[in-house]
Amino acid sequence: EPEVTQTPSHQVTQMGQEVILHCVPISNHLYFYWYRQILGQKVEFLVSFYNNEISEKSEIFDDQFSVERPDGSNFTLKIRSTKLEDSAMYFCASSDPGIGFAEAFFGQGTRLTVV
Amino acid sequence: GESVGLHLPTLSVQEGDNSIINCAYSNSASDYFIWYKQESGKGPQFIIDIRSNMDKRQGQRVTVLLNKTVKHLSLQIAATQPGDSAVYFCAEPGITSYGKLTFGQGTILTVHP
């Protein structure tokens, strides 16, 4: 069964450092998303991406965040200067508009720990 | 505004029992709802969805009920199994952007053998 793949599974970084989280969405999907989940809290939308541009972003997704689809398969989330409060699980998701935007398929997540 | 919330944060049941997980929403214009299951260490997994023109939808061992009058939906799991232990979220797409999901707080379901 096709799945969304995220790497690394766990990333530890020092405050102020840049991190890049990697995702390989399902191959025929056209919509890509990043969500985050702070420990014990609900999943929060960060950004959606379609046709090589951001289609929507939340208040959380400030200038420290950026997304990129560098090639035909990868979708990355970059945090330029990490803060302690960026520690969270980050989930990548993708969807096929033929099925419906909301039936997004999520990856296993990357646990980001900022120390 | 767009928001979903859950009544109970935890639910413990015995294997074989039926489970009911509740969710309230605030926006009367909401027209589509989704239930996700999140197992430990994994991302959310789509379970079932329902549109506002329906008040009930059934899947395999799961049923979602929608009461638009009181803005409430529930997920019923029949014959709950230990493998059903997970966090369950209701979610809804944004009104301005269908791809933006707003998740509720989540209910932790624990199934005891």
Number of domains in chain A: 1
Name the token pair of B5: 């919330």
CATH code, domain carrying B46:
2.60.40.10
Task: Nearest chain A residue to B87 by CA: give it.
Answer: A42
pLDDT range class, residue B95, cuts 50, 70, 90: low
At B6, the pLDDT band (50, 70, 90 cuts) reads very low
Between chains, do B49 and A103 touch, taking CB under 8 Å as contact? yes
Identify which of B77, B74, B54, B79 has the alpha carbon closest to the alpha carbon of residue B64: B74
Does B34 contact A108 at a Cβ distance shorter than 8 Å? no
Tell me what pLDDT residue A112 has.
Answer: 98
Residue of A nearest to B105 (CA): A42
* Statement: residue B80 has pLDDT above 70: yes
Computed over every residue of chain B, the mean pLDDT equals 88
Residue A83: half-sphere exposure toward Cβ, Cα within 13 Å: 6
- Nearest Cα residue to A46 out of A79, A3, A83: A79
DSSP string of A5-70? EEE-SEEEE-TT--EEEEEE--TT--EEEEEEE-TTS--EEEEEEETTEEEEE-TT--TTEEEE--
With an 8 Å Cβ cutoff, are A43 and B105 in contact?
no
Is the distance from CB of B63 to CB of B57 less than 8 angstroms? Answer: yes
Nearest CA among B8, B56, B9, B10 for reference residue B33:
B56
Number of domains in chain B: 1
CATH number at residue A15: 2.60.40.10
Tokens, residue B65:
């009920």
Q: What is the mean pLDDT of each run of 10 residues along chain A (115 residues)?
A: 92 98 93 92 92 92 95 94 97 80 84 98
Question: What local confidence, expressed as pLDDT, does residue B7 receive?
Answer: 46
| Cβ-defined contact of A107 to B97 (cutoff 8 Å) | no
Range of the domain at A94: 5-99+107-114
Which among A42, A103, A105 has CB closest to B103? A42
Query: What is the CA A108 to chain-centroid distance, rounded?
Result: 11
Q: Residues of B with CB below 8 A from A31's CB?
A: 99
| E strands present in B15-106 | 19-25, 32-38, 45-51, 56-58, 62-67, 72-77, 86-93, 101-103
Q: Is the pLDDT of residue B2 over 50?
A: no
What is the token pair recorded at B100? 């933006």
Boundaries of domain holding B75: 4-112
* Per-residue pLDDT, B105: 82
B45-64 pLDDT, tens per residue? 999 999 999 999 999 999 99
**Beta-strand pair A53-57/B45-51:** unpaired
